[in-house]
Structure 1
Amino acid sequence: MKTYAHVFQGTAFTSHTPKELQILKDHLFCINEDGIIERVAAPGEDGYDDILTTNRVHRLSPGQYLLPGFIDLHVHAPQWAQAGGALDVPLYDWLHTYTFPLESRFADIDFAAEIYNDMVGTLLANGTTTVLYFATIHKEASLLLAEICAKKGQRGLVGKVVMDDPAQNPVAYRDQDTPTALEDTEQFILAVKQLAPSVKQGVYPVVTPRFIPSCTDGALKGLGELAAKYDVHIQSHCSESDWAHGHVKERFGKHDAFALHDFGLLGDKSVMAHCNFLSEEDVSLFAKTGTAISHCPISNAYFANSVIPIARWMDKGVEIGLGSDISGGFSPSLFDNARQAVISSRMLEDGVNTELPANERGVSQSRLTIDEAFYLATAGGGESLSLPIGRLAEGYAWDVQIIDTVIPSAKLPIYGDEPLHSIFQKIMYLSRPENIREVWVQGDKVHTRQS
């Protein structure tokens, strides 16, 4: 009988489809040396007992459950230093008064190391095993973020940000010029690709125009060409707010989606954050090109001036995952963001203006369930990145969080013989970082909570 690097025995929750939750009771998860789930065995299945007798088994304790590691599709890593502050001003003012001055400080590599080490560790402690990161315009500090992900065991997709338009960006924080921005981006791509073979869980370079208002046409065109040349991921912001959406319409006479597409920035490795103002035509373009949406429900409540109809876009076949958007979103927890995704969708469906009749107040068929929000935080994120992550299934990376529902400091209200689906819902709505006992990435334990 084959022996494995690790075998886990316990009950797990994982998404089969956006609307279908799988509950795997007392299953065995067999992990190979590469950190991949090689076999999943159910009780009573041929070989189940043999696996138990021929392997050292990690048996979950009573009250513990397995969830896939969360996948955060939108984090501004430098903004961790301002998380929880300055959320009461419009987006443009927030960027120029608070965010750009902070990000300019990442020219100091020691300052960058302090923030980035804390950011990566905090996300791991919150059950986030894969992150799509915006760094800053600084090539060296951006590479440092990739190196920290590699060292701490997080799967990091990292972008050196491009902001080259002197008319839109402050003197103290922008790329020197377009050729420099493109040269630095290419050097960054090559450096991360050189690092990647030594990293078990993977690190990836990402082409990252901050958003259309911050970039010249030359930079956008050049970044599209670099993404094609090196076959790397692409990320940006798309139609986030009234201001950003209006800027692009005035500049190009079209929406962000079509402008980005013209520059070669949409494709099956592209993830666009927010996307609150997409039209039906924009959504069709996303579905056709394989471009994914990072839904950032907490951040959208502060800066997007709207609620995105995620349920409708999912039904149109667009790949969608969840993003915290630190620090436009204050919380590093995708549990919090999954909850807000549900709350926002219900407000969109039911409406908020009580001066209107109930049947005219909202947008029908907008509601998300917590099962669907869980899908966005896990399998939806993996599909958005075109990586085998986000599911507890054969052929997927062993990225998991072990949730302890009976820890004394954060015991969940589970009594008697509750249905497992009810327990899942309580985990999703009530879990705090204290409940995350262990976090594993690609078969390696990267976080343990001691108390």
Structure 2
Amino acid sequence: MNRNDTTARIAHVFSGTFMHSTPRSAVEILHSCVLGVDDKGKIAFIENHQDVVSLSEKWGFETSDIKQLGQYEFLMPGMIDTHIHASQYSYTGTALDLPLLEWLNTYTFPVEAKYKDLDFANNVYTKVVRRTLKNGTTTACYFATIHTEASLLLGELADRFGQRALVGKVCMDCNSAVPHYKENPSECKEETDRFIKELLKKEYLNVKPVVTPRFAPSCSSSLLSELGEIAKNNKLHVQSHISENKEEVELVKTLFPGCKSYTDVYLKHNLLTDRTVMAHGCHLTDEELKIFRETGSAISHCPNSNISICSGMLNVRNVLNHEVKLGLGTDVAGGYSPSMLDAMRRTLDTSKALTILDPQHKTLSFEEVFRLATLGGSEALSLDDQTGNFVVGKDFDALRVNVCVPDGPIDLFPGEAPKVILEKFLNLGDDRNITEVYVAGRQVVPFPDK
């Protein structure tokens, strides 16, 4: 792309070190480069710094406008949370003493029922969007609740703060211990249709609806079929849960005796597509993973939640060997941290635990996990044509990272190479090190005063 074939002007120019992933390299480090972002939020160029004068003439920017990254600063792609329950954020860090099905009925459903109150919803949803952005989540795939108005509010807040988001109104018509926290199938279809129509009518640039059956045990077969049709007719993403814990897997066998597996339930209801992301998958068989690959469906690995409520440990290496798309998720509030840095760390911990159990298991590297949190997440959400790494023409979703902030959590020592600095940030860093956040070229952190 050059200035002769576009009307876009340059809005931002950065000079320094850039780190991202490509299909061929888990971590690619671009030294002494210049990156330009046009006024449509797209990456216009990435070139060697020695060409900066000719670039300024070609693209019409002043060299004085260049944002120079410091010695211990770098830009990386924004992180992508492929599974997070915005509605559970109010009790994050608590209520981690029960297994999944008891946990849902004891803690989750009673809290989610409160979102009929829009003041309550506004308070929690504002905080979760701000918190995740501060922690570097530029894209979030959100579960809301069964309430249409509150789910629309979550979409409005994501747009207002500038986060890229898929927002799902939860659909469930059975097996809730809270009688008033479910819908009948016809009501659920009508409200899901209204939610999709209303959210699309807003024409938010980076916030879209996602069809959201909570999970097979809370949905009748007729509802699942309706949702499959809605997703197909509107060409929408689908999100749900699968094979999170063993008790749940056995329950699904009882509820859907005509299906060969948990995966087969979603397959028969037309919910496995190349825009589907299923959370957890701890207990999927190799046969089920083959179906995921064949349909183009993705898995969201949520290691904090998997361990915190004792659900299981996903063998990510096996999933990748089956060539199934996979991203990472925080799974707030089953996961106690809203930070994707934590999701990366727990992914490595789980992989190492699997190696302890089986020395033949090939442990994931931090480079591979970095890719899963960025490019892998964009692939899992079928957004990799828009975001996930620094490629000309993609949206500029990025974090400016400074590993040497005053009173920060990282100590540096002489001679440490950029990849060492990246590894230290991934293992030791926090939101203090994320000094700026950009989504589609718009700086969204630090937050504006208003």
Pairwise same-fold verdict (TM > 0.5): yes
Once the 2 structures are TM-superposed, how far is the Cα of residue 449 of structure 1 from its aligned partner? 7.8
Aligned counterparts of 1:192 and 1:116: Cα–Cα separation in 2: 16
Match of 1:170 in 2: 178
TM-score (norm 1): 0.93
Match runs of 1:306-321 below 5 Å: 306-321=312-327
SS at match of 2:238: strand
Structure 2 alignment gaps of length 5 or more: 4-8
- What is the percentage of aligned positions where both structures have the same residue? 37
**Contact 1:438 1:445 (C-alpha < 8 Å) held by counterparts:** yes
Match of 2:377 in 1: 381
Match of 1:260 in 2: 266
Aligned counterparts of 2:56 and 2:42: Cα–Cα separation in 1: 21
Deviations 1:11-51 (A, max 9, x none): 11101137531001121111112111121112345845757
- Between stretches 338-347 and 5-14, larger displacement belongs to 5-14
SS at match of 1:174: coil
Once the 2 structures are TM-superposed, how far is the Cα of residue 168 of structure 1 from its aligned partner? 4.2
Match runs of 1:17-416 below 5 Å: 17=23, 20-44=26-50, 47-48=54-55, 50=57, 54-55=61-62, 56-165=65-174, 167-175=175-183, 177-195=184-202, 197=203, 199-200=204-205, 202-253=206-257, 254-351=260-357, 362=358, 364-387=360-383, 388-410=386-408, 412-416=410-414
Once the 2 structures are TM-superposed, how far is the Cα of residue 58 of structure 1 from its aligned partner? 1.5
Question: Aligned partner of 2:445: which letter?
Answer: H
**Contact 1:28 1:48 (C-alpha < 8 Å) held by counterparts:** no
Q: Are residues 136 and 275 of structure 1, via their aligned partners in 2, closer, same or farther at CA, if it must alter by over 3 Å?
A: same
Aligned counterparts of 2:117 and 2:92: Cα–Cα separation in 1: 20
Question: Aligned partner of 1:248: which letter?
Answer: V
**Contact 1:438 1:449 (C-alpha < 8 Å) held by counterparts:** no
Once the 2 structures are TM-superposed, how far is the Cα of residue 417 of structure 1 from its aligned partner? 2.3
TM-score (norm 2): 0.93
SS at match of 2:49: coil
Aligned counterparts of 1:113 and 1:32: Cα–Cα separation in 2: 33
**Contact 1:412 1:427 (C-alpha < 8 Å) held by counterparts:** yes
**Contact 2:242 2:279 (C-alpha < 8 Å) held by counterparts:** yes
Structure 1 alignment gaps of length 5 or more: 352-361
Q: Are residues 18 and 235 of structure 1, via their aligned partners in 2, closer, same or farther at CA, if it must alter by over 3 Å?
A: farther
Aligned counterparts of 2:422 and 2:407: Cα–Cα separation in 1: 19
TM superposition outliers: structure 1 runs of 4+ over 4 Å: 48-53
**Contact 2:263 2:288 (C-alpha < 8 Å) held by counterparts:** yes
Question: Aligned partner of 2:185: which letter?
Answer: T
**Contact 2:436 2:443 (C-alpha < 8 Å) held by counterparts:** yes
Q: Are residues 10 and 132 of structure 1, via their aligned partners in 2, closer, same or farther at CA, if it must alter by over 3 Å?
A: same
- Between stretches 138-147 and 307-316, larger displacement belongs to 307-316
Question: Aligned partner of 2:224: which letter?
Answer: L
Deviations 1:296-333 (A, max 9, x none): 01000023532111011112111100000000000011
Question: Aligned partner of 2:366: which letter?
Answer: I
**Contact 2:176 2:182 (C-alpha < 8 Å) held by counterparts:** no
Aligned counterparts of 2:263 and 2:304: Cα–Cα separation in 1: 22
- Between stretches 141-150 and 401-410, larger displacement belongs to 401-410
Question: Aligned partner of 1:263: which letter?
Answer: H
Instruction: Return the match for 1:446 from 432, 444, 450.
Output: 444
Match of 1:355 in 2: none
Aligned counterparts of 1:335 and 1:271: Cα–Cα separation in 2: 20
Question: Aligned partner of 1:402: which letter?
Answer: R
Aligned counterparts of 1:174 and 1:234: Cα–Cα separation in 2: 19
Aligned counterparts of 2:373 and 2:382: Cα–Cα separation in 1: 14
- Between stretches 51-60 and 394-403, larger displacement belongs to 51-60
Q: CA RMSD in A?
A: 1.8
Q: Are residues 42 and 364 of structure 1, via their aligned partners in 2, closer, same or farther at CA, if it must alter by over 3 Å?
A: same
Match runs of 1:410-449 below 5 Å: 410=408, 412-448=410-446
Aligned counterparts of 1:24 and 1:228: Cα–Cα separation in 2: 40
Question: Aligned partner of 2:49: which letter?
Answer: P
Aligned counterparts of 1:373 and 1:85: Cα–Cα separation in 2: 27
Once the 2 structures are TM-superposed, how far is the Cα of residue 211 of structure 1 from its aligned partner? 0.2
Once the 2 structures are TM-superposed, how far is the Cα of residue 54 of structure 1 from its aligned partner? 3.4
Aligned counterparts of 2:314 and 2:249: Cα–Cα separation in 1: 14
Q: Are residues 363 and 310 of structure 1, via their aligned partners in 2, closer, same or farther at CA, if it must alter by over 3 Å?
A: farther
Question: Aligned partner of 1:392: which letter?
Answer: F
Q: Are residues 210 and 363 of structure 1, via their aligned partners in 2, closer, same or farther at CA, if it must alter by over 3 Å?
A: farther
Question: Aligned partner of 2:429: which letter?
Answer: S
Q: Are residues 169 and 212 of structure 1, via their aligned partners in 2, closer, same or farther at CA, if it must alter by over 3 Å?
A: farther
Once the 2 structures are TM-superposed, how far is the Cα of residue 93 of structure 1 from its aligned partner? 1.4
SS at match of 1:438: strand
Question: Aligned partner of 2:248: which letter?
Answer: A
Deviations 1:38-81 (A, max 9, x none): 21112345845757983321212332111111100111001000
Aligned counterparts of 2:44 and 2:134: Cα–Cα separation in 1: 26
**Contact 2:10 2:59 (C-alpha < 8 Å) held by counterparts:** no
Q: Are residues 214 and 263 of structure 1, via their aligned partners in 2, closer, same or farther at CA, if it must alter by over 3 Å?
A: same
- Between stretches 410-419 and 234-243, larger displacement belongs to 410-419
SS at match of 2:181: coil
**Contact 1:17 1:375 (C-alpha < 8 Å) held by counterparts:** no
Once the 2 structures are TM-superposed, how far is the Cα of residue 193 of structure 1 from its aligned partner? 0.8
Aligned counterparts of 2:231 and 2:242: Cα–Cα separation in 1: 18
Aligned counterparts of 1:53 and 1:231: Cα–Cα separation in 2: 39
